[in-house]
Amino acid sequence: MTGWSCLVTGAGGFLGQRIINLLVEEKELQEIRALDKVIRPELQEEFAKLNHKVKLTVLKGDILDEQCLKRACQGISVVIHTACVIDVTGAAQRETIMNVNLKGTQLLLETCVQANVPIFIYTSTIEVAGPNSYHEIIQNAHEDENHESKWFAPYPYSKKLAEKDVLAADGWTLKNGGTLYTCALRPMYIYGEGNPFICKQINKALQNNGILEDFARYSVVNPVYVGNVAWAHILALKALRDPTKAPSVRGQFYYISDDTPHGSYSNLNYILGKEWGLQIDSRMVLPVFLQYWIAFLLETVSFLLSPIYKYQPPFTRHLVTLSNSVFTFSYKKAQKDLGYEPLFSWEESKQKTTQWIGSLVKQHKEALKTKTH
């Protein structure tokens, strides 16, 4: 098993780049291929710096382009598939989300068979498990409990179907007679430096006198630091490459969390931003059942208008449920099968993310100065 190579899809994304940063430290790794539709110039420079450790090839291309996938998978030993469209607000077209998240995954699996890629690791999401109702309390849940999302919202639905396809593909025969090994990781809500959602929330707060929106007051979740999710991917590929560990990991999915304290999404933003004077909005919020029924009315209006006008509701029932549920999961199975332990403690994760938020605050202040001069 000497000398191996790895393709990371979605390599320019928030998680993809972290996986690459950890991959370069792996022994006997000969090449990393970083595939994404867009790789920002500054990230291209970051990747170039890693080139002295291992050959790092940046590929610009679309997950729906079969020729591009063929070239990307040629001679590869492991595929880590993180590329997807994440959308919980309904901003992206349903068709786009289903195409990228589901069809893109199916094309990649088929390409792996043709190109004799033996290992496929899929980045799934906690959203394939739910939450289905804000009334339901799910705490410290695990893989054997069969939690499954019942939403038809395109993001959880596409990810659920894609994950099923990936796990069903375990055991497929490769073109050369070999066998495809697959597994899926379901991270909790991922935070850390560069998180686009946190960035949006912080910038919104900075334009509102440092007041953070309290959009998820009633949720209890266990967010996970991006570095720990990346680390779980490295451990999954090591397990699938290890003949003694692979049998118990093949065709399995794993919840990935860490030691970040349980609490609401809003409270996480507050903990990470309070050092910079950010405060949480203390005004009254509507009871959840009211938010839910307003969302239902707005979705009905959107549906009725759809033949003549595209109206995007400011929030949906899915978003209300997601933001107000008690929904936490244990990483014990990943610990047992993959040897997963968080690489970064809560203190380190908090410090790194807080520092990054500080840089956003600084940028905002500098932008204001420029405006006033």
Q: Is residue 2 scored above 70 in pLDDT?
A: no
| pLDDT at residue 91, rounded to an integer | 84
Whether 155 is catalytic: yes
pLDDT tens digits, one per residue of 12-49: 999 999 999 999 999 899 999 999 999 899 989 999 88
pLDDT in tens, 205-259: 999 999 999 888 899 999 999 999 999 999 999 999 999 999 999 999 999 999 9
Per-residue pLDDT reduced to its tens digit, 104-122: 999 999 999 999 999 999 9
- Residue 119: the pLDDT is 98
Q: What digits encode the pLDDT tens for the residues 270-323?
A: 999 999 999 999 888 899 999 999 999 999 999 999 999 989 999 999 999 999
Distance of CA 323 to the CA centre of its chain: 17
- In the predicted model, is pLDDT for residue 196 greater than 80? yes
Q: Cβ(203)–Cβ(364) under 8 Å?
A: yes
What distance in Å separates the CA atoms of residue 154 and residue 92, rounded to the nearest whole number? 9
**Separation of alpha carbons 258 and 253, rounded Å:** 16
Spatial distance between the Cα atoms of 286 and 22, rounded to a whole number of angstroms? 43
Domains defined along the chain, listed by start: 4-192+223-261+329-345 (3.40.50.720)
Query: What distances in angstroms separate CA 74 from CA 5, 71, 134, 323, one per listed residue?
Result: 10, 5, 46, 42
Per-residue model confidence (pLDDT) at position 130: 97
Say if residue 340's pLDDT is above 60.
yes
Tell me: pLDDT of 1 over 50: no
Q: What is the model's pTM?
A: 0.96
Catalytic residue among 122, 155, 255, 270: 155
